[in-house]
Chains A and B, each alone.
Chain A
Amino acid sequence: MITAPPASSADCSTILADGCIATVTATRRPRGNRAEVKCVVPGAPALGEAMQAAVRLARLTEAAYDSREQVVLSIDRAPTADDRNWELAAVLADRMVRGIWRPAAEQVCAAGWSDNWQLGELAGDPSQAWRLLARAGVQPGVLWLGAGPGDEADARWAVHAIRHLGELTGHAHPRSGISSARAWFPLHSGGINDTLSWVEVSIRPLPPDAQHDEESTIAAPALDLGMQQSVRQALAGARHFDGKGQGRWKTVVRFGHARLHGESWQFALVMADRLARGREFVPRGRVIASGASSAWHAGRIESVEGVQPKLELILSQAGIGDRILLPQAWSSDIPAGYRAGLKAKGASLACVERLGWI
């Protein structure tokens, strides 16, 4: 119910086929009987119409509709006719200006297109995007997003890839044969580099009659052996506690950051797994969780270190509809007014002792 403070304009850049960076700018104003989306591309009216169609179709995946205002989109360089990487940037700029999506970074650069924007699906050419990205040079502090199958593509690109618009808030893709969900966790590394990182669990069904060792069906590429083992044990334990998830899924786990110390990501991993398996209440925004356990098979959540910096980071990064889950042991450390601060941003907080719906 709490809406974001209105931003008057938002930028999202994209990369053109010739390697130049183009910027899509979205502004909003009262509608006044005009079209809800207007696209201005000097000298290329066909491109303007295609942009309007893409943005309007992508809006079909949103829950709420607001007919009171008009969003005007413009792009500062016209792409060639067969270049479609700007589509994702236009859709994201439209969401950013209306406060529907709030990126973690100041600047966003996106490349991707879709033939099914009304379903929120994303296509694209990951290898081309990676090549162009490397040529343009990555600025630090710019959030890169692009389409692509995360598993097969270059591992360096995989962390930027999204396959569905719902992945921006971690939600599963309703139509594909793979269900994937993301959860976020605070990563404390000495103050200035503190960030929210994500973990993604993708599952696909196994044939029902097959007999598998649960841990052997869980893959975590690009992780070192110790961490792979930790991921497998946490997931297998939590599924054992759940009682309904064993022997049914082939699982792939990906992290937004490759090298992690400590085990505070475990709770986020378990929540992403439960969301992907369709066995958890779905928040409107993201799940942000911190916690570990030595006994996932009992569903117990134990405390982790770094209470204060993590609380501060979460408060600064939380957005509309986000759900923050912390260990029960932290409840005495939460300062007065912290919950109210989160509520003012539209997020909610729970301190959890044990997994479960209630």
Chain B
Amino acid sequence: MGLLARMRGLAARDQAVDRNPAGGLGTSALAVRAPVPATPLPPGAVLVETADGVGWLVHASPLSCHVTPFAAAPEIGLRLDYCFDASGERHRFALLLAAEAERVLLVESVGAAIQEAVQGALQLGTLELPPCTSDEEWHAFRAGLNELVYTRFGLVVEDCLPVDLHPAVDFAAQLAAAPGPAAAVPPAAASHMDGASAIPPVPADALPSPAGAERPAGPSDTAPGRREPWLEWVRLADMPLHGRRAASTATAGAAADAAALRRLFLELPALAAGLRALQMREGDGTFAPLQDILRRLALAAVHVSTMPSLAHSAPGQRLGKHTQQLRAAHAAAAQAALDESWALLAAMRGGLDRVRLDEFDRVLSNLEYSLAQRRATQP
């Protein structure tokens, strides 16, 4: 069963896909695994081979999703029409299938991933959508959005319009249902100044959620009672502090660790290739820093491909649960840095300058730091 499907809690839908390989293609799924050579293709589908004997049926007509660009403004949405471009370059989308999909790539999870990418880019300032956007700023945003979605997902944005989500999303009702600041405090957390310095473990639910009130359903939401006990062993203050997204996904454990390392293993070389293909201008001082970045990216890729397993410090020697969870958290932080670097690569395709290179240096330093911590056998 697909990892993404399981994470979204859509087991029933996935079984339907299993019964009929092409079922749901174009409605609930953007792509499904198919045997190669394929039996007669369903109408509107294209076969993409990600490796020898591994094929995917991909829906090649426009699909639509609603994206909330700002977590703090839930009543504003962007209606995004995107499409897999069957006639154009297929490498990035094939990489997405290989790195992030298991057996089926759901439309819903693609929409959620696009929303996360857009929110992240707006927070970091690689995309700008300020209040009272002027026409020029909107066109600049559209160009940046097209580049971001193409660079990160290999999909082409056909159309994008701001929409008022009001009757469907009611901020007043959301606020009325919010727990309030006091209810969010776990009782033990209030006492961390009692002479000692230890902060009691804060349950995963108390972590800031990536999308404000609209938190995607994850394992911790669907089954809070079944959460493994060791997930609560790590003090929140020890977590890798790579922004809210990394910390909130960091409690997912071994499966998320493996998924993050797979993404890093497959995507870091492609990211370096994307950087190499950037247009350089002579004499603007970007050549040397870019060389340095490429060298460090290659080294990071070596680090990923020689990464030790999560549970062992040496063959036969198991690590403590605490160290394991920290390692998984650092893998999630490294994955967040990878997402940031795709967004930066998209911005750099619009124009390469020293400021963006310095930003890339920051992200790459974070990635190197997380990978080194993922290796560490001592917390």
- Give the interface of A toward B (CB within 8 A): 1-3, 36, 46, 49-50, 52-53, 56-57, 59-68, 81-82, 84, 115-116, 118-119, 121, 171-179, 204-206, 208, 244, 248-249, 271, 274-275, 277-284, 287, 321, 323, 325, 348, 350, 352, 355-358
A-B contact pairs, 16 of them (CB 8 A): A1-B356, A49-B197, A53-B237, A63-B123, A81-B195, A118-B236, A119-B181, A174-B213, A175-B179, A208-B173, A279-B73, A281-B73, A284-B125, A348-B130, A357-B132, A358-B132
How close is B211's CB to chain A, nearest CB, in angstroms?
A: 10
In B169-213, which residues have CB < 8 Å from any A CB?
171-173, 175-176, 178-181, 184-185, 189-190, 192-193, 195-197, 199, 202, 206-208, 212-213
A278–B202 contact, CB under 8 A? no
CA distance A281 to B197 in the complex (A): 40
CA distance A278 to B211 in the complex (A): 13
B208–A119 contact, CB under 8 A? yes
Kindly list chain B residues whose C-beta atoms are within 8 Å of the C-beta of A357.
76, 131-133, 162
Q: Is B223 an interface position by the 8 A CB rule?
A: no
- Give the interface of B toward A (CB within 8 A): 69-76, 122-126, 128-135, 137-138, 162, 164, 166, 171-173, 175-176, 178-181, 184-185, 189-190, 192-193, 195-197, 199, 202, 206-208, 212-213, 236-237, 241-244, 247, 347, 355-356, 358-359, 361-362, 365-366, 369
How close is B269's CB to chain A, nearest CB, in angstroms?
A: 23
Closest to A279 in B: B75
How close is A57's CB to chain B, nearest CB, in angstroms?
A: 6
CA distance A347 to B365 in the complex (A): 27
Given A179-B175, A352-B132, does the pair A65, B73 have CB atoms closer than 8 Å?
A: no
CA distance A39 to B298 in the complex (A): 35
B76–A116 contact, CB under 8 A? no
CA distance A171 to B131 in the complex (A): 13
A244–B75 contact, CB under 8 A? yes
CA distance A174 to B75 in the complex (A): 14
Supplied contacts A116-B189, A281-B130, 12 more A-B pairs, CB within 8 Å: A53-B192, A53-B197, A56-B237, A57-B199, A119-B206, A175-B178, A208-B172, A244-B166, A274-B131, A357-B76, A358-B135, A358-B138
Kindly list chain B residues whose C-beta atoms are within 8 Å of the C-beta of A271.
131
A205–B181 contact, CB under 8 A? no
CA distance A147 to B275 in the complex (A): 46
Kindly list chain A residues whose C-beta atoms are within 8 Å of the C-beta of B133.
281, 350, 357-358
CA distance A208 to B167 in the complex (A): 13
Kindly list chain B residues whose C-beta atoms are within 8 Å of the C-beta of A355.
132
Given A175-B184, A281-B131, A325-B132, does the pair A64, B70 have CB atoms closer than 8 Å?
A: no
A177–B242 contact, CB under 8 A? no
A118–B73 contact, CB under 8 A? no
A50–B212 contact, CB under 8 A? no
A60–B243 contact, CB under 8 A? yes
Given A1-B359, A280-B73, A350-B133, does the pair A116, B124 have CB atoms closer than 8 Å?
A: no
A60–B244 contact, CB under 8 A? yes
